[in-house]
């Protein structure tokens, strides 16, 4: 290939220095495609970030509800313990006792009630 000097003194292979309009159109099409892909990626990232924020809010609300439920459960257990202690005292006064470790106080009480009704 014969080498020519361009106007700035650089060597060229005889091809024009400026790209053709077809190669410019191809480059623009590629740029538009890449820009579209980048925009789609940005939208997907924004959507994911929004969903993560929403889910974090929901998890926070569920955590608060769970803690509230645990507090109610502790309060109910404490109240039940007080009631059982009072009941045990009253039963002791009447010479009835709950069997230690029986665990089913309701069944024991039901049995006593049935026996007293007979």
> Which pLDDT value is given to residue 1?
45
Return d(Cα 71, Cα 78) in angstroms, integer: 10
Which residues contact residue 4 at a Cβ distance below 8 angstroms, ignoring those fewer than 6 apart? 11, 12, 14
For residues 35, 36, 37 and 41, what is the CA-based torsion angle, rounded to 10 degrees? 100
Residue 12 CA to residue 16 CA, distance in Å, equals 8
82: pLDDT strictly greater than 60: yes
Mean of pLDDT values over 76-80: 94
């Amino acid at each position: 290939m014969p080498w020519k000097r361009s106007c700035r003194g650089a060597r060229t292979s005889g091809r024009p220095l400026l790209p053709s309009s077809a190669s410019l159109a191809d480059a623009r099409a590629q740029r538009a495609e890449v820009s579209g892909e980048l925009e789609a990626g940005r939208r997907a990232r924004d959507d994911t970030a929004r969903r993560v924020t929403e889910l974090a809010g929901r998890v926070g609300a569920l955590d608060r509800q769970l803690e509230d439920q645990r507090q109610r459960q502790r309060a109910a257990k404490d109240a039940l313990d007080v009631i059982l202690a009072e009941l045990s005292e009253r039963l002791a006064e009447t010479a009835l006792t709950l069997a230690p470790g029986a665990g089913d106080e309701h069944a024991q009480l039901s049995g006593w009630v049935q026996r007293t009704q007979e």
